[in-house]
Amino acid sequence: MAWENQTFNSDFLLLGIFNHSPTHTFLFFLVLAIFSVAFMGNSIMVLLIYLDTQLHTPMYFLLSQLSLMDLMLICTTVPKMAFNYFSGSKSISMAGCATQIFFYISLLGSECFLLAVMSYDRYTAICHPLRYTNLMRPKICGLMTAFSWILGSTDGIIDAVATFSFSYCGSREIAHFFCDFPSLLILSCNDTSIFEEVIFICCIVMLVFPVAIIITSYARVILAVIHMGSAEGRRKAFTTCSSHLMVVGMYYGAGLFMYIQPTSHHSPMQDKMVSVFYTILTPMLNPLIYSLRNKEVTRALMKILGKGKSGD
């Protein structure tokens, strides 16, 4: 293995996405503002669902896991980018790079499977309401969520170990604002084509398979909703499902663009722009989409805020 030729003291250089021109400075602080909104929004969602017993249902438990994953995802990339920008340093250690790859890939993979579980939850709630409490009882819901985390983490370990099994001779400049393995493979002096084929197969499993589950679930949900006799029931079902589908569309669209294509087809600017979208912007939009369109979440927030005011 190439570990013998490399040490954890060998640093890479993250070229980043922003320079110190006025325009880029403005964009950098805009990203920081988005990060702050994403951090607060997802933290609030996790706390609300934990504190309000009326939200202790499978749907909201899964939503809290999505918010937790998004919270960890933005904390994996943005703080290091901000530190490098303010300090003027571009370096990241090999250990730091491997850690970023592990958490980044693990969280992306876990979200892939979690979104499929969430679609199954909506399918059982709408298509099999009488069996819902049995099909989505806490033990089953917890196991499906645990498997999402385990499968994502397994993929993260494989990708991190495989990426650093190659030798990196010559330039150590990564044309990105964080360590993403496609950007690293370009720097390798080994033939990475076989690994890229394996990654392609993994992406089929991690992206296409969950998408198939989601499409099948929502096709059945839409048919069930169309045949609902209650207009209020149809409205509530469409509101809940449309929120989920918006998140799925944003997340999988970017993921398919990034990881189904071979690394030779990527340009550094494309990678950066798409990465900003689904590692920073999407985690900000997720809690906004769910909270603004969900009366139960809004009610829970007002309840907590009301208690805070009465306590004052």
- 18-32 tens-digit pLDDT: 888 898 899 899 999
The whole-number pLDDT of residue 5 equals 47
* pLDDT digit string, tens, across residues 268-292: 666 677 777 778 888 888 888 776 6
As a whole-number percent, the residues of the chain with pLDDT over 70 amount to 84
The whole-number pLDDT of residue 18 equals 84
* pLDDT digit string, tens, across residues 224-234: 877 776 666 66
309 has a pLDDT exceeding 60: no
Indicate the range of 40-54, 62-76, 82-96, 256-270 predicted with least confidence: 256-270
The whole-number pLDDT of residue 254 equals 67
The whole-number pLDDT of residue 79 equals 92
How do 11-14 and 173-174 pair as beta strands? parallel
Map out the domains of the chain with their CATH numbers. Answer: 11-305 (1.20.1070.10)
Confidence of residue 252 (pLDDT cuts 50, 70, 90): confident
Mean pLDDT value across residues 201-224: 82
- Kindly report the average pLDDT of the chain as a whole number: 82
4 has a pLDDT exceeding 50: no
> Pseudo-torsion of CA 19, 21, 24, 29, nearest 10°?
100
What is the spatial distance between Cα 227 and Cα 217, in angstroms, rounded to a whole number? 16
Mean pLDDT value across residues 149-168: 88
148 has a pLDDT exceeding 80: yes
The whole-number pLDDT of residue 20 equals 85
As a whole-number percent, the residues of the chain with pLDDT over 90 amount to 24
Instruction: State the amino acid at position 23 in one-letter form.
Output: T
3 has a pLDDT exceeding 60: no
What's the predicted TM-score (pTM) here?
A: 0.85
114 has a pLDDT exceeding 90: yes
The whole-number pLDDT of residue 8 equals 47
1 has a pLDDT exceeding 70: no
Indicate the range of 28-37, 66-75, 107-116, 170-179 predicted with least confidence: 170-179
300 near 54, Cβ under 8 Å?
A: yes
Local structure of 280: helix, strand or coil? helix
User: Nearest CA to 238 among 144, 122, 152?
Assistant: 122
165 has a pLDDT exceeding 90: no
Confidence of residue 7 (pLDDT cuts 50, 70, 90): very low
Indicate the range of 211-220, 254-263, 269-278 predicted with least confidence: 254-263
CA neighbours within 13 Å on the CB side: how many for 46?
14
283 near 71, Cβ under 8 Å?
A: yes
243 has a pLDDT exceeding 80: no
184 near 163, Cβ under 8 Å?
A: yes
